[in-house]
């Protein structure tokens, strides 16, 4: 299990939820709150949920649970590149997707 530290203020800014509701919802979604200190909460994330290893991932699951529609991304335009897959991979991974993200700061 991974333990992450997330700012409650950051989660409130990314969702329409208050601190009490955030702390109430997270355990029901399988994200136990290990402890909290001031504005920070410490969450246990299981290895099969790498999408929850950031405040953005946590906010996404909170928003989805609350009924807020997910963010839409523009997928129109010309292909950004070519993905070449060896035929032997099909037995292990029958479906593969690729995306190219530009103009973002990590």
CA–CA separation, 91 and 14 (whole Å): 40
Write down how long the chain is.
106
Q: What global pTM score does this model have?
A: 0.70
Average of per-residue pLDDT across 30-44: 93
pLDDT surpasses 90 at 81: no
Answer whether residue 106 shows pLDDT above 80. no
- Indicate whether 70 pLDDT > 90: no
What is the average pLDDT across 95-100?
81
pLDDT at 105: 80
Greater pLDDT, 88 or 75: 88
Helix axes 55-65, 19-28, angle to 10 degrees: 90
């Amino acid at each position: 299990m991974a333990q992450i530290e997330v700012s409650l203020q950051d989660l409130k800014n990314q969702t329409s939820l208050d601190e009490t509701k955030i702390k109430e919802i997270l355990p029901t979604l399988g994200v136990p709150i290990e402890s909290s200190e001031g504005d920070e909460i410490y969450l246990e994330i299981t290895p099969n949920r790498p999408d929850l290893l950031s405040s953005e991932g946590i906010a996404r699951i909170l928003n989805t649970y609350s009924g807020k529609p997910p963010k839409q991304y523009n997928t129109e335009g010309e292909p950004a590149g070519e993905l070449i897959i060896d035929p032997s991979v099909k037995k292990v991974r029958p479906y593969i997707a690729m995306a190219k993200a530009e103009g973002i700061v990590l």
